[in-house]
Structure 1
Amino acid sequence: MGETTSSKPMYEKIFDEVKQRIVTKAYKLGERVPSEKELAEAYSVSRITSKKALEMLATEQLIVRKPGRGSFVADPSIDYIESASPLAINTGRTASTSMNHKEKMIGLIITDFGNSYGTGLIYGMEQASRDNDCFLVLRRTFGIPENEEQSIQKLLNLGVDGLIVFPAQGEYFNAEILKLVIGRFPLVLVDRHLKGVAAASISSDNMTAALKGTEYLFDLGHTHISFLSPPPVDTTAVEDRIEGFIQAHAKRGIVVDQELWVSDLTSTLPNSFNDENIERDISRLVAHLQNNPSITALFAIEYNIALLAKTAVERLGLRIPDDISIICFDSPPTHLGGGYPFTHMWQNEQEMGRIAVENVLSIMNGHTVPNKVMLEAKLIPGESTGSAKQSRDI
């Protein structure tokens, strides 16, 4: 087999050639046809492409796919009907038969997870997978793009029917994600969307959440707020939170002073969490607060950055919230680990996880899902915010 020269997509070319072999009885009734792997190697394409071709053949009832055994030329006198229940075979006679099919298998690729963010996502996905009789396979990337690419490849080789991906922090999306999108493989992105890529995504409404959190600080009298974040590096979740922070200032007619921001904190990024980096970031925040005594509140883009800020404030002998208020995104329940009760924007992780699973299953079944789903994040008052003081001394 070789690549043809027409302008058709490769999966259509493979579909046409295998169909022709079936119609001409080169592949006889009940005979096994080449597998995804064999077709991919024969046509020098990815397994996403060969999988798509076989799915098209199955849709036209030219083949029947038998998990663990392969794909076989279908009997035209039998209707193969797949539904949410086990695969049913309707022969058109008075009696009907059924046969088991494998559970749908969904691959989950996530940077990492912990008490502050991620665990709730997995809980929601795990419950949704149980409710929908499918199986979830997890791989962590620790924010390394190379790990993400390898994880996608390995899960595809494992035979997953769909993928949920929490993209690695970085300036670009990897080539494997682009291949999934081009090949129309069932894919849902979590926590962020990728610019220029038509892939379904589910996240919090980060811009509105940051706007609400900033307005909460304004209502307490804070107008000199330091925004704390890692480098945005074209990550939409970070960019949307920055945009919400700026829009809140515009709504209230308050000038945005970016000199008060710290946007180069890196110790909380995946694969960068070590004592040396943590100490460097804390020292950076201590110096920043010393050099900018007008700051009365800190808006940390995530919980771990809020912890860095709290340590920096305490090193200066200042009190939270009497001298400095802190607000952040996410905060572990204090009854689960004795964590500090920050005022925070609470993200509905379990609902995000549930929707991610249900949307990828819908895509598998040929249904259209919204390109972008954004859930409301709620403000949860804690002990880290209070009324602004007119001035403070360091």
Structure 2
Amino acid sequence: MEHPLYKQIQNDIRSRIQSGELPSGALVPSEKELAQQYGVSQITSKNALNGLVEEGLLVRYRGRGTFVRELLSSERGHPHQHQPQPSAKKTIAMILPTMKTRIDQQLLDGLERYCSERDYDLLIRITRESPEEEAFAIEHFRERGVDGYIIFPVEQESYNNAILRLTLDRVPLVLVDRFLKEIKTYSVSADNYGGVRTAVSDMLAAGHEHVALLSPEITNTVTDERAKGFEAAFMERGLPIDKTLWCLLDLDTLGKGLGQQEISRFLREKSEVTALFAVNAELARYAFYALRDIWPQAENRPLLAAFDDPDLEGVPYVRQHLDEMCRSAVELLAEQLEGKYDPRREVVPVAWVQTG
């Protein structure tokens, strides 16, 4: 019985990989090229490549193409098992999205210190908020044969397939500040929900019923939990949630440095706002200068509060215990490197810091 056309394409690509014609890391013909070569539609050739990506034979990088997945020596013959060598010194890959903020720097410092205490070698890659660079870094480190990963994922709606594959292959991995909702994995994050709920409850108790929320668009577990904490503070006091007072900035706007301009526009349109809660320090700084421009007299300005210390005088904030997050992340990674596997999420308490 003749195989479907997409199966023929897959079998041919498998044969070319097994023969060495397409070695590890080689660029595979594009959907368009395969469609022309086999006389099929691009939908058929796309389905063929997608199937091989799902099998783990190929990996895709947006804007670069589809490549033969580079397997570690420990994976050959056992593609779904990671077998660290217990006697060797461990090498850990740490992948961070940015180093723009003091929070980023404190996380790097803490993680490096706790890795050093365990005599781990540390390799670091900054992805600059690029999903493509994140995926490339993960595959690059897999080829180098690192023993484990600490990853602070980029800010996007879905997680990289490369992160999902690490989890499914049970490669030692700890996610920092994020977690996977549908798949059990190791992660460490602050109490985003409880921290925002406490802060906003305090603002409401002070008489600020028209509180604006400043947030990036809600695309990941961090922004989702902080938004839910904001809502909970209102619901617990029996107050309506007015989402016209939510200023959600898309990632493209923030990437272009237009955050302060958008917040200024929002505030000029919402004159009823008496307080603002910014879900991160970057937005708090944008809001601080926007408020100062609109209300030159300090006594007339709406109250501003933030998640994380924006290093601005008079701005109360939710403080993360970053050192504890770093310690916990390295301990969870060490557990996996020692051969244990009990994936779970560790939530580290936060503190509401009010200024005088």
- TM-score normalized by the length of structure 1: 0.68
Structure 2: stretches of 5+ with no match in the other structure: 1-23, 26-55, 58-67
Deviation at 1:57, TM superposition (A): 10
- Is the CA contact 1:122–1:350 (under 8 Å) kept in the aligned structure 2? no
Deviation at 1:340, TM superposition (A): 3.9
Name the count of aligned residue pairs: 292
Q: Paired residue for 2:309, among 306, 317, 331?
A: 331
Aligned counterparts, 1:1-394, within 5 A: 47=71, 50=75, 53=78, 82=86, 87=87, 101=88, 103-233=89-219, 235-266=220-251, 269=254, 272=255, 274=256, 277-278=257-258, 281-320=259-298, 322-331=300-309, 334=311, 339-382=312-355
Q: Partners in 1 of 2:327 and 2:206 — Cα distance?
A: 36
User: Using a 3 Å threshold, how does the CA distance of structure 1 residues 194 and 282 change in structure 2: closer, same or farther?
Assistant: same
User: Using a 3 Å threshold, how does the CA distance of structure 1 residues 57 and 166 change in structure 2: closer, same or farther?
Assistant: closer
- Is the CA contact 1:165–1:190 (under 8 Å) kept in the aligned structure 2? yes
Specify the SS of the correspondent of 1:356: helix
One-letter code of the match for 1:245? F
CA deviations over 1:115-168 (Å, ceiling 9, x no partner): 432122112211111211111111011111000000101111222100011111
User: Using a 3 Å threshold, how does the CA distance of structure 1 residues 217 and 186 change in structure 2: closer, same or farther?
Assistant: same
Deviation at 1:304, TM superposition (A): 0.9
Greater helix fraction, Structure 1 or Structure 2: 2
One-letter code of the match for 1:50? E
Deviation at 1:256, TM superposition (A): 0.8
- Is the CA contact 1:111–1:143 (under 8 Å) kept in the aligned structure 2? yes
Specify the SS of the correspondent of 1:117: helix
CA deviations over 1:309-345 (Å, ceiling 9, x no partner): 111111113444653100111125x5xxxx5452110
Specify the SS of the correspondent of 1:254: coil
Specify the SS of the correspondent of 2:260: helix
Deviation at 1:55, TM superposition (A): 11
Q: Partners in 1 of 2:97 and 2:82 — Cα distance?
A: 35
CA deviations over 1:197-242 (Å, ceiling 9, x no partner): 2211100011111101101111221110000011112x00000000
Q: Partners in 2 of 1:163 and 1:321 — Cα distance?
A: 48
- 2:35 corresponds to which residue? none
- Is the CA contact 2:316–2:353 (under 8 Å) kept in the aligned structure 1? yes
One-letter code of the match for 2:323? Q
One-letter code of the match for 1:284? E
Q: Partners in 2 of 1:246 and 1:52 — Cα distance?
A: 50
- Is the CA contact 1:123–1:350 (under 8 Å) kept in the aligned structure 2? no
One-letter code of the match for 2:188? I
One-letter code of the match for 2:96? I
Segment drifting more, 174-183 vs 110-119:
110-119
User: Using a 3 Å threshold, how does the CA distance of structure 1 residues 260 and 55 change in structure 2: closer, same or farther?
Assistant: closer
User: Using a 3 Å threshold, how does the CA distance of structure 1 residues 254 and 246 change in structure 2: closer, same or farther?
Assistant: same
- Is the CA contact 1:359–1:369 (under 8 Å) kept in the aligned structure 2? no
Q: Partners in 2 of 1:300 and 1:352 — Cα distance?
A: 22
- Is the CA contact 2:186–2:343 (under 8 Å) kept in the aligned structure 1? yes
**Alignment identity in percent?**
27
Give the structure with higher Rg (CA): 1
User: Using a 3 Å threshold, how does the CA distance of structure 1 residues 52 and 225 change in structure 2: closer, same or farther?
Assistant: farther
User: Using a 3 Å threshold, how does the CA distance of structure 1 residues 50 and 370 change in structure 2: closer, same or farther?
Assistant: closer
Specify the SS of the correspondent of 2:75: helix
One-letter code of the match for 1:355? S
Deviation at 1:291, TM superposition (A): 2.1
Specify the SS of the correspondent of 1:112: coil
- Is the CA contact 2:80–2:170 (under 8 Å) kept in the aligned structure 1? no
Q: Partners in 2 of 1:228 and 1:340 — Cα distance?
A: 19
- Is the CA contact 1:229–1:263 (under 8 Å) kept in the aligned structure 2? yes
Two-structure CA RMSD over aligned residues (Å): 2.7
- 2:21 corresponds to which residue? none
Q: Partners in 2 of 1:57 and 1:294 — Cα distance?
A: 57
User: Using a 3 Å threshold, how does the CA distance of structure 1 residues 133 and 255 change in structure 2: closer, same or farther?
Assistant: same
Q: Partners in 2 of 1:164 and 1:268 — Cα distance?
A: 28
Q: Partners in 2 of 1:227 and 1:319 — Cα distance?
A: 23
Q: Partners in 2 of 1:320 and 1:119 — Cα distance?
A: 31
Specify the SS of the correspondent of 1:242: helix
- TM-score normalized by the length of structure 2: 0.75
